[in-house]
Structure 1
Amino acid sequence: MKKQLLSALLASVCFGAAVPAMAQNLAVVNGQAIPQARYDYFIDQFVKAGREKTPELEQHVKEELVRRAVYEQEAAKLGLDKTQDFQQEMDLARQTLLIRALFQKEQQEHPITDAAVKAEYDKFVAANKGTEYHSAHILVETEDEAKAIIADLKKDAKKFEALAKEKSKDPGSGSNGGDLGWSRPEAYVPEFGEALAKLKKGEISDTPVKTQFGWHVLQLKDTRPVQPPALDAVKPQIQQALAEQQLVEYQEKLYKAAKID
């Protein structure tokens, strides 16, 4: 299994990189040399990918390169490298590698700056200001059931958790006393969110709230300003998103500038 995995990894590296020619050879297979530089390059790629350089890895890389040389020679002997399908595949592979090299060059020459990341983070924070609500609910099937629960809670609001565990049809929150955690009202269906936003801390809804899921009795436990994630926590995602956006813009710029007849 390890050997098969290594072969697959090696094949992916072989397809994606060109190896500089050097005088030293790893081996000579049927009179054709395998450059030592090719072996050194692949070992280096595995190490960069987190693999430990062990005698086993070195032996497997060498054997795989020799095997690939044997198979390549046999394919060439049969003239498979001269077929139209092969030539078309080679043209496509060359095009793919050139395009990838172009995009990598663009990204290397125009890296996403910390200033750009901070600006995007600030826009995110500004767009997500507001209030978070810590709420709970009891979901039942009929309005009468909800009204009966509200009447019961008016006598003793402390029974909310117990009633939620006993009567709520919401499998996600019922067993947890109806607790929905912290969220903005916009995260819920409109009827639920609007009713929640009208409550004050500690209040329970006076009337049942109907949604597509059934009838709800709401409780607002607490409120707080929205807590945005720390910049360091989301920096990698922002960098990736900006890099992808920048690359798309570069691609569109090239496409629009091309003369297409």
Structure 2
Amino acid sequence: MTLFPAPHRLVLAAALACGLAAPALAQNITTVNGKPVPKARADQLYEQVKKQAETQGQQIPPGTEQQVKDEIVLREIFVQEAERRGLPASAEYRVQMELARQSILIRELFTDFQKKNQISDADIQAEYDKFKAQATAEKEYKVRHILVEKEEDAKSITAQLKAGGNFEEIAKSKSKDPGSAAKGGDLDWAGPGSYVPEFSQAMTKLQKGQTTDAPVKSQFGWHILKLEDVRDAQFPPLAEVKPQIQQRLQQQKLAAFRDELQKKAKTDYKFGSASN
């Protein structure tokens, strides 16, 4: 039989899994064994396939609308055969139908809640301001380092620097850090949390332009640090992080709604209990 080619078969399968309403309308695609196949059924599936593809950044190829119609008619043929064999009367079918009914209703419940409890721009601004206030209390450091394996090599480099050696040139020729050696040991701007504790502790004790008096040992080897500058932590503009904040707040509201329903329900069931 002819079904959807990958990857559009996956898109179609996802749309079909959501369930289809089939209102009885006069406009039909065709009839199968005398039973009409409503065009509205294909229209709804097409819209779901289209929406699913857009979500995944895909384009609907030419001919998709016809493929949807073909699929709808094929499904009617198969459904009629399943009904002729009496499969809807089986216990397994009834269980699966109940699970599908529940899934659709739960999806619609949460969709309805989100529509009626949308996140306002004021909510997003307040959350952004809260994060920003926390971030500005932190500092970022622009530091260079030279990494070597042996302590004696680190001490030798420290002596060279104290004698007037050029930090950037020594880093380029001696540092074992592949990410920063070519840049003269430059690690760019970062907060203390970006580094291992030994490194961060030594870095935050330095003054601008100062180099560590003694090498610093970490799990990576021996470091010589030079602090170039310090600034308040930079925070991205609201426009850049608005979608993430909105999604976070939506998830929080939805989680609170789920928790509320669970608490209000009258049941002696113990969630998460192995004894159930």
TM > 0.5: yes
**Does residue 45 of structure 2 align to residue 42 of structure 1?**
yes
Q: Determine the structure 2 residue equivalent to 1:132.
A: 140
Greater per-residue helix proportion:
1
Q: Determine the structure 1 residue equivalent to 2:271.
A: none
Q: Determine the structure 1 residue equivalent to 2:24.
A: 21
Q: Determine the structure 1 residue equivalent to 2:245.
A: 238
Within 5 Å, give how 1:139-218 maps onto structure 2: 139-158=147-166, 160-218=167-225
Q: Determine the structure 1 residue equivalent to 2:12.
A: 10
1:54 shift after superposition: 7.2
Task: Provide closer, same or farther for how the CA distance between residues 193 and 25 of structure 1 changes in structure 2, counting only shifts above 3 A.
Answer: same
Rounded to whole Å, the distance in 2 between the matches of 1:3 and 1:29 is: 25
Rounded to whole Å, the distance in 1 between the matches of 2:244 and 2:60 is: 31
**Does residue 39 of structure 2 align to residue 31 of structure 1?**
no
Within 5 Å, give how 1:217-256 maps onto structure 2: 217-256=224-263
Rounded to whole Å, the distance in 2 between the matches of 1:13 and 1:84 is: 26
Deviations 1:128-151 (A, max 9, x none): 112211111111122221111111
Q: Is this contact kept in 2: 1:141–1:215, CA < 8 A? A: yes
Deviations 1:78-112 (A, max 9, x none): 22222211211111111111111111111110001
Corresponding letter in the other structure for 1:61: V
Rounded to whole Å, the distance in 2 between the matches of 1:54 and 1:38 is: 20
Corresponding letter in the other structure for 2:151: E
Corresponding letter in the other structure for 1:110: N
Rounded to whole Å, the distance in 2 between the matches of 1:252 and 1:18 is: 30
Deviations 1:155-175 (A, max 9, x none): 2342x2222222222222223
Percent sequence identity is 48
Rounded to whole Å, the distance in 2 between the matches of 1:217 and 1:86 is: 70
Task: Provide closer, same or farther for how the CA distance between residues 6 and 210 of structure 1 changes in structure 2, counting only shifts above 3 A.
Answer: closer
Deviates more, 1:166-175 or 1:49-58: 49-58
Deviates more, 1:246-255 or 1:53-62: 53-62
Q: Is this contact kept in 1: 2:4–2:67, CA < 8 A? A: no
Task: Provide closer, same or farther for how the CA distance between residues 19 and 165 of structure 1 changes in structure 2, counting only shifts above 3 A.
Answer: farther
Task: Provide closer, same or farther for how the CA distance between residues 177 and 44 of structure 1 changes in structure 2, counting only shifts above 3 A.
Answer: same
Q: Determine the structure 2 residue equivalent to 1:65.
A: 72
Runs of 5+ unmatched residues, structure 2: 269-276
Q: Determine the structure 1 residue equivalent to 2:274.
A: none
Rounded to whole Å, the distance in 1 between the matches of 2:62 and 2:23 is: 24
| Cα root mean square deviation, aligned | 2.1
Corresponding letter in the other structure for 2:65: E
1:238 shift after superposition: 0.5
Question: With structure 2 as the length reference, what TM-score do the two structures score?
Answer: 0.87
Q: Is this contact kept in 2: 1:3–1:60, CA < 8 A? A: no
Rounded to whole Å, the distance in 2 between the matches of 1:180 and 1:44 is: 49
Equivalenced residues, count:
260
Runs of 5+ unmatched residues, structure 1: none
Corresponding letter in the other structure for 1:206: D
Rounded to whole Å, the distance in 1 between the matches of 2:63 and 2:91 is: 39
Partner SS, residue 224 of structure 1: strand
Corresponding letter in the other structure for 1:243: Q
Rounded to whole Å, the distance in 2 between the matches of 1:119 and 1:148 is: 53
